[in-house]
Amino acid sequence: MTQGIRFNPAGTILATAYVDGTIGLWDVQNGKSLFQVKTSGEELYTVDWNPTGRLLVTAGLHAKITIWDATSLKPLKEFDAGNWIIAARFSRDGSRLFTAGGDMDDKSKRLISVWGLPDDR
């Protein structure tokens, strides 16, 4: 089951975040799977492309916030966060990453975080 989907900036590839902790990339024109990678996360809730389409981010339940190379689905950077990240989005200029979530069990630890990122150009 898919929990999150997002088109790349060109609209040619669809990224998917699955309930089993897998990230997938799909060719929009022919509907074929390009990559499927199982993460260490229990579930993935969210996926997003940076503005250039070179990077992806995923996060979820007991999953690290992971920045991926979008051409190979190789993890480039992982951030430790709370045990429950329900949303991750790149800023419009790609210089920051915003995440929402925190700790499922302790409502005082639910928060929005902002992460600075290097320019990927």
Average pLDDT (80-105) is: 86
This prediction has a pTM of 0.87
- Nearest of 97, 80, 88, 78 to residue 48 by alpha carbon: 88
Q: For residues 8 and 40, give the distance between their C-alpha atoms in angstroms, rounded to a whole number.
A: 24
Superfamily of the domain at 2-116: YVTN repeat-like/Quinoprotein amine dehydrogenase (2.130.10.10)
pLDDT tens-digit series, residues 72-87? 999 999 988 778 899 9
Instruction: Report domain extents, the chain.
Output: 2-116
Residue 27 scores a pLDDT above 70: yes
For the cut 70, the answer to whether the pLDDT of residue 47 exceeds it is: yes
The pLDDT of residue 61: 93
**Residue 114 pLDDT level (bands cut at 50, 70, 90):** low
Whole-number pLDDT of residue 73: 95
pLDDT at residue 118, rounded to an integer: 61
Q: Give the percent of the chain with pLDDT over 90.
A: 69
- Average model confidence (pLDDT) across the chain: 89
Give the count of beta carbons closer than 10 Å to the beta carbon of residue 113. 16
DSSP code string of 58-94: EEEETEEEEEEETTTTEEEEEE---SEEEEEEE-TTS
